[in-house]
Structure 1
Amino acid sequence: MEHIITTQALTKNYGSKPVVRDLTLKVPPGSIYGFLGPNGAGKSTTMKMLLGLVKPTAGSIFILGKPVLEENRLELLKNTGSLIESPAYYGHLSARENLQIVCTLKNVPETGIDSVLRIVRLEKQQDKKVKHFSLGMKQRLGLAAALLGHPRLLLLDEPTNGLDPAGIQEMRELICSLPGKYGMTILVSSHLLSEIDQMATHVGIIEKGALIFQGSLESLHRHSRARIRLRTTDNGRAFCVLKNAQLPVAADKDGHGLFLHSTEDSRVLQCGRLLAEQEIGVLRLEEMQMSLEEIFLKLTEKQASL
C-alpha cells in the first residue's frame, strides 16, 4: 500500500467560509506524519473529516487503501485509533474501568487492556480514580484508549497540549516508539514546531486551510538555505565593504554580526580577502542552517502574500 491516508481536493466550508481548501494529503505507511500549522489553520477539522465526525463539503478520503464511505466507515474505524482535542473519561472510575468501557464501545476484547496500560506506563495507576490523575496521566490514558485493538492508524490532535516539559518528553517518546514496535502509522497535528522536528518523519504544513508543503522532514530541511554567519572587529564597516562588492550580505538582527547568504567557497574566499584588505579582523565564521521555525515562517509568509 503506497499510502495509509490519501485525500483528494478535500474541502470543508462553514457557510461561505472555507476552513479546509482542496487538501491533498499523502501519508506513507509506518510514518509519523507531522500535520503542522498555526491555531485555526484547519488541522482539527481535517482530522475530524478523516474520522467521519465532520462531513466534507467536497473531495474524497481513502484510508488503508479504501474510500471512506458511509457504509464502510465503521469497518475502517476499527483499524483507526484517535485522540482528538481533550480525552474523554469518567472521573469517578479507575483507569482500567474507563478502558473496559472503551473496549465495549469498540467491540474489542478486554485482554488488550494490560498491554496498552504497559505501553503508556500507567499499569501502576490502573486502579486509581481518573479524577485524581494529572493532566499528563489523563493524556496517556487517552492514548491508551486510542491504542486498544492495536489499530494500524493513529490520529493524534495536539497530544502534548497543556503538558509540562517532562510530560511533553514522555508523550513524544511514546509516540516515537509506536511505529517501530507495533507497525503503526501516526498522523499527529501540532502548532509546536520543535515537537514536530523531534518526532516526525514526514510533514504537511497547512495555512488558512490550504496545504503549502508536503514531504519528508529531510526534504523540508533541504528548503533551508545555508548561510555564513560572521563576526568581525568592525561589523558596520564590514557590512559596507561587502555590500559595495555586491555580495549577498545582511546585518544580524541582534547587531552582533553579519550573514552572508551563500556558502559557495568562492564567495566565502572573496569575503575573507575583502575584509583582510581593509584590515578588518574576522573573529568568528560559522555555517548556519535555517531552523524549522524559520522555514515555517518563510513558507507561511509567502503563502500569506499570495
Structure 2
Amino acid sequence: METAISVEALKKHFDNEEALKGISFEVGKGEIFGLLGPSGSGKTTTIKILTGELEPTGGQVEVLGYPYQAFKRSGYVKSLGILSDNSSLYDRLTVKDNLTLFRKLYGTGQAKVDQVLKDVGLSNHINKRVKDLSKGMKQRILLCKAVLHEPEVLFLDEPTSALDPVTTDSIHEMLLKIRSRGTTIMLTTHNMDEATALCDNVAFLNDGIITDNGSPDALRQAYKSNTMHVTYDDGTKKQIPVNLENKAQLEAALFDTNIVNMKSDYPTLGEVFKKVTGKELV
C-alpha cells in the first residue's frame, strides 16, 4: 500500500517536558489510522505537528510527499481537512451561510454542501443559526466543513468526545463513507470502541512513546489468553484453560444445561491497552 503519512523518530519538547519521545509509524493511503491513548499522552501534539501548527524538535515527518518544512505551502494546506478543538463556526450565521462561506474559500460548488449535510443527516437544519444547534449538531457541521473540499488526508482530534451515542454513530457512518471515497483518515481518541469500529490500524501512545501497534483484531489476538469463562445457573463461575488436558471438560461444558454463559477470554482493545501500559484510559 502506498504511504500517505510517514513518521520516524518524532520528538517534541516543550521547555523541559518531552511530549513525544521518538515515535514512528506509517499510514497507508485510503486507511483509517487511530492514535490511541489517554489524555496527555501526546496525541494532540502529534496532530498539530502533522498539520503544521507545531514544528518537531527532532525526527522526520512526511505527509503526501511533503516534508514538515513544506507544511506551510498552500498546496499542502489545501490537501488537508482538519477537525480539532480549535475548529470553529460563526454562531450568528446559519448552517447554510457558514458552509457557503467555507465552500467559496475552497472553490467547491453548492452541490457539495448539500451532499455533506445529507451524509450527517442535517439537511433539514440548513437554515438554523449555529448558536441554536446542539453540541452534537455543531460537531457534525464542523466535520462537514472539514471535508467540503474532498481532502486527501483528514485529521480528526477526538471527533466524538462527549457526544451522545446516536450522534457518534452518525459521525462514524460519515467517516466510513469518506474513507470509501479514497480519503486517508488519521484520528486521535481514547475511545477504544470507536477505534475498533473504525480503524484499519492503530498505535498505542502513552507518555510520548508508542508501546504497540497493528490492526485492532491482530492486537486483540496477540494479547488474548486461551481461557474459557463459564457461568453456571447458580451463579458459580469457572475458568477452564484451553488445552489438550482439558479437552474432555471443555467438550462436556458445551452440552451442560446448567451453564448459562460460556465465552472465550478475547480482550477488548481497551483491555489490551491496559495490559500494555498498565493504565486506564481516562
TM-score range, shorter chain: 0.7 to 0.9
Match of 1:199 in 2: 198
The residue aligned with 1:288 is 265
Q: Which residue of 2 aligns with 1:245?
A: none
Cα distance in 2, alignment partners of residues 128 and 286 from structure 1: 49
For residue 254 of structure 2, what is the aligned residue in structure 1?
Answer: none
Residue 263 of structure 1 and its aligned partner are, at CA, apart by 2.0
Aligned-partner Cα distance in 1 for 2:119–2:97? 17
Q: Distance in 1 between matches of 2:71 and 2:162?
A: 37
Are the counterparts in 1 of residues 12 and 21 from structure 2 also a CA contact under 8 Å? yes
Alignment-derived partner of residue 239 in structure 2: 259
Matched residue type, 2:155: L
Q: Which residue of 2 aligns with 1:23?
A: 23
Residue pairs, 1:93-242, within 5 angstroms: 93-105=93-105, 107-111=106-110, 112-180=112-180, 182-225=181-224, 226-231=226-231
Q: Residues 120 and 170 of structure 2 are in contact (CA less than 8 Å); yes or no, is this contact kept in structure 1?
A: no
> Taking structure 1 as reference, are residues 268 and 14 closer, same or farther at Cα in structure 2, changes over 3 Å only?
same
- For 2:64, the aligned partner's letter is L
Contact 2:114–2:123, Cα closer than 8 Å, also in 1: yes
Structure 1 unaligned regions, length at least 5: 235-254, 274-280
Distance 1:157 1:11 in 2: 19
CA distance in 1, matches of 2:247, 2:233: 18
Residue 269 (1) aligns with residue 268 (2): no
Between the aligned partners of 1:195 and 1:71, the Cα distance in structure 2 is 29
Which blocks of at least 5 consecutive residues in structure 2 are unaligned? 252-256
Provide Cα deviations, 1:76-102, integer angstroms capped at 9, x if missing partner: 121110101253011000112212332
| % identical aligned pairs | 30
How far has the Cα of 1:195 moved from its partner? Answer: 1.3
Contact map agreement 2:70 2:76 (CA 8 A) in 1: no
Q: Give the 3-state SS of the residue equivalent to 1:4 in structure 2.
A: strand
Instruction: Call closer, same or farther: CA 1:257–1:52 in 2, change over 3 Å.
Output: same
Say which is worse superposed, 112-121 or 60-69, in terms of deviation: 112-121
What is the deviation of 1:256?
4.3
Give the letter aligned to residue 202 of structure 1. N
Is residue 221–residue 266 contact of structure 2 (8 Å, CA) maintained in 1? no
Deviations 1:121-159 (A, max 9, x none): 322212211000111110011001100210111111111
Asked if the contact 1:37–1:207 (Cα under 8 Å) also holds between the matched residues in 2, the reply is yes
Give the whole-Å Cα distance in 2 for the aligned partners of 1:232 and 1:90: 58
2:177 counterpart SS class: helix
- By how many angstroms is 1:117 displaced? 2.3
CA distance in 2, matches of 1:233, 1:101: 62
Moved over 3 A (4+): 70-73, 230-234, 270-273, 281-286
Amino acid at match of 1:213: D
What TM-score, normalized to structure 1? Answer: 0.80
Q: CA deviation at 1:67?
A: 1.9
CA–CA distance in 2 between the matches of 1:256 and 1:291? Answer: 24
Read off the aligned partner of 2:18 and give its amino acid letter. P
When Rg is computed on C-alpha atoms for both structures, the one with the higher figure is 1
Code of the residue aligned with 2:237 in structure 1: it is: G
In structure 2, what is the Cα distance between the partners aligned to 1:204 and 1:37?
Answer: 9
Q: Using the alignment, how far apart are the partners of 2:262 and 2:83 within structure 1?
A: 46
